[in-house]
């Protein structure tokens, strides 16, 4: 029986997942016994459509490309248009909500309300929005558990690179005492560019913007706010240690100069914007700050827009994972992994 999906938001990431589901349909069915059916899409700018028996992905993508409005989807008996996000979550027959709406990172809204509504109506949620996980992890986890539904958010930290799932699944039995990571590709790209080509911070930032790595307003990346949300998620989920955004000290890279870069070279070191969390007593101390790391450090070799993370464990010692931290396909894949995880658990329960 197909797993029915409702997309809340249908921008780059949502369309990326839709394309993956279309292109890998047969492989997923054969290898994972996983079948997905998109029944609803609600997007603030692109309109809203719902059909209980499913929407054709190719038609959806073509209509969007040609007209920019989902509500131009061919009208067939049973098709409903015009529902807002909350009505779509409450009243469609979706099993899982794909929450990829535009969300205010400072408040986590409207994604927090989307999650609550989905959980309270017996629907799973998979998402890439950092805000709800960083700001309301405990509350939303409890609501999901009360209603017996799943909440997946693998894509909130390093896109499709399994920064959350890997330690939980494969480092089980270890005590993870600390985390150090390069969790923002934009800043790593800028620092790499400054070191390799001797260009100023301002010029490196302009190139990052031209390539789409940095937004027109790069504040969230370059001042460390993006990485701060991610270390909070890692602390709460991987280290099982409550931590709030306000508790994380945060310094960005905008004051790093070429002189700083050259001085680090002379010392056999390299600048990186590091997100760090370490268990101290019953809690965690965390920070975001640029730091000179030794060339021999596993994180020093991470260049360009790549992300990496090192978990300090009591049994294995340091374990480092690196990979893409952004991208249409990569982030779409993170949602797919969460969906497959839900499917596998359901299959296990059946057996």
Cα separation, 60 vs 344, whole angstroms: 28
- Cα atoms found within 13 Å of the Cα of residue 327, Cβ hemisphere only: 14
**Using the 8-state DSSP alphabet, how is residue 253 labeled?**
S
Cα separation, 309 vs 249, whole angstroms: 19
3-state secondary structure of 97: strand
The rounded Cα 92 to chain-centroid distance in angstroms is: 25
Known catalytic residues are: 230
Cα separation, 348 vs 351, whole angstroms: 5
Phi, psi of 68 (to 5 degrees): 75, 0
Cα separation, 156 vs 269, whole angstroms: 30
Say which residue the tokens 């969790």 belong to: 183
**Under 8 Å between Cβ of 209 and 305:** no
């Amino acid at each position: 029986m197909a797993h029915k999906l409702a997309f809340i938001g249908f921008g780059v990431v949502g369309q990326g997942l839709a394309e993956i589901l279309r292109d890998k349909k047969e492989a997923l069915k054969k290898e994972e016994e996983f079948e997905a059916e998109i029944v609803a899409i609600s997007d603030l700018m692109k309109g809203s459509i719902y059909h209980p028996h499913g929407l054709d992905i190719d038609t959806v993508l073509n209509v969007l490309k040609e007209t920019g409005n989902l509500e131009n989807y061919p009208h067939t008996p049973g098709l409903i248009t015009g529902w807002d996000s909350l009505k779509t979550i409450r009243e469609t027959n979706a099993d899982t909500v794909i929450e990829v709406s535009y969300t205010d990172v400072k408040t986590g809204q409207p994604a927090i309300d989307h999650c609550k509504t989905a959980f309270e109506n017996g629907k799973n949620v998979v998402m890439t929005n950092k805000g709800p996980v960083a700001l309301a992890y405990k509350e939303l986890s409890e609501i999901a558990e009360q209603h017996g539904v799943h909440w997946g958010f693998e894509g909130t930290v390093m896109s499709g690179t399994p920064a959350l799932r890997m330690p939980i699944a494969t480092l089980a039995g270890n005590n993870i005492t600390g985390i150090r990571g390069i969790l923002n590709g934009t800043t790593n790209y800028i620092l790499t560019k400054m070191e390799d080509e001797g260009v100023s911070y301002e010029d490196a930032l302009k190139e990052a913007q031209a390539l789409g790595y940095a937004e027109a307003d790069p504040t969230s990346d370059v001042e460390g706010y993006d990485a701060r949300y991610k270390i909070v998620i890692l602390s709460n989920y991987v280290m099982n240690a409550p931590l709030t955004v306000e508790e994380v000290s945060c310094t960005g890279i905008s004051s790093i100069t070429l002189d700083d870069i050259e001085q680090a070279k002379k010392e056999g070191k390299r600048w990186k914007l590091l997100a760090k969390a370490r268990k101290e007593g019953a809690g965690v101390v965390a920070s975001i700050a640029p730091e000179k790391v030794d060339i021999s450090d596993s994180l020093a070799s991470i260049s360009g827009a790549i992300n990496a993370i090192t978990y300090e464990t009591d049994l294995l010692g340091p374990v480092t994972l690196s990979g893409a931290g952004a991208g249409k396909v990569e982030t779409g894949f993170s949602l797919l992994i969460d969906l497959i995880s839900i499917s596998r658990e359901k299959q296990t329960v059946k057996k």
